[in-house]
Amino acid sequence: MTVLLVALMSISAATLRSHTLRRQNRERTLVVNSIKMWAERIHSYSYTDAYTQPGLSWSEAMLAAYGAGGTVGNTFNVLGLNPVPGQANMGTITLITDETQTDAALNIEAGMPRDLNGDQDAVDADVSADARMIPVLLTINWRGINRDSTESHVFYVMGF
């Protein structure tokens, strides 16, 4: 009876761990797919629609679409995940227009500070009107199966 009980407890523990790993993998897959989708969407906008906004430069059009209060906005949700309590949205889009920011200050590895407007220096605190390249930071915070989790991805979009 003891041997049977030990075997049953081992199988139960393995089953619970397997279920937890499956849920964690599902969460991670949803996050990665969402980041890929938003990155593609932002890239697509930067290569096509950002050039068609009357009266706006490329960088101003990017900020008007994906900045705070923009036409698309700078927040999003991920279907299938639970938000961290107290947060309205899980995902944020940050367009970095301060070329003096450092990777350490941003808590990312993006090669910052960097000349974003092509004037051969990286000392401008705001290049939102004339940037030729914009670092984009996508961050997703969600309530995971075991704890609150965060995933970030940084990439560049370029205006030609």
- Per domain, the residue ranges of the chain are 24-158
Confidence of residue 33 (pLDDT cuts 50, 70, 90): very high
For residue 124, is pLDDT > 80?
yes
Confidence of residue 18 (pLDDT cuts 50, 70, 90): confident
Of 18-22, 68-72, 111-115, 124-128, which gets the smallest average pLDDT?
18-22
Of 4-18, 22-36, 62-76, which gets the smallest average pLDDT?
4-18
Of 25-29, 42-46, 51-55, 96-100, which gets the smallest average pLDDT?
51-55
Q: How far apart are CA 131 and CA 70, in angstroms?
A: 17
Q: Kindly report the pTM of this predicted structure.
A: 0.85
Q: Mean per-residue pLDDT for 30-50? A: 93
Q: Mean per-residue pLDDT for 142-146? A: 85
Mean pLDDT of the chain: 90
CA quadruple 74, 137, 44, 30: dihedral positive or negative?
negative
Give phi and psi for 92, each to the nearest 5: -130, 145
Can you give the pLDDT at residue 144?
Answer: 85
For residue 38, is pLDDT > 90?
yes
- Cα 91 to Cα 15, 35, 81, 160: the distances in Å are 32, 9, 11, 28
For residue 15, is pLDDT > 90?
no
The residues that bridge with 95 in the sheet, in sequence order, are 136
For residue 20, is pLDDT > 80?
no
Can you give the pLDDT at residue 160?
Answer: 73
Question: Do 31 and 78 touch, CB atoms closer than 8 A?
Answer: yes
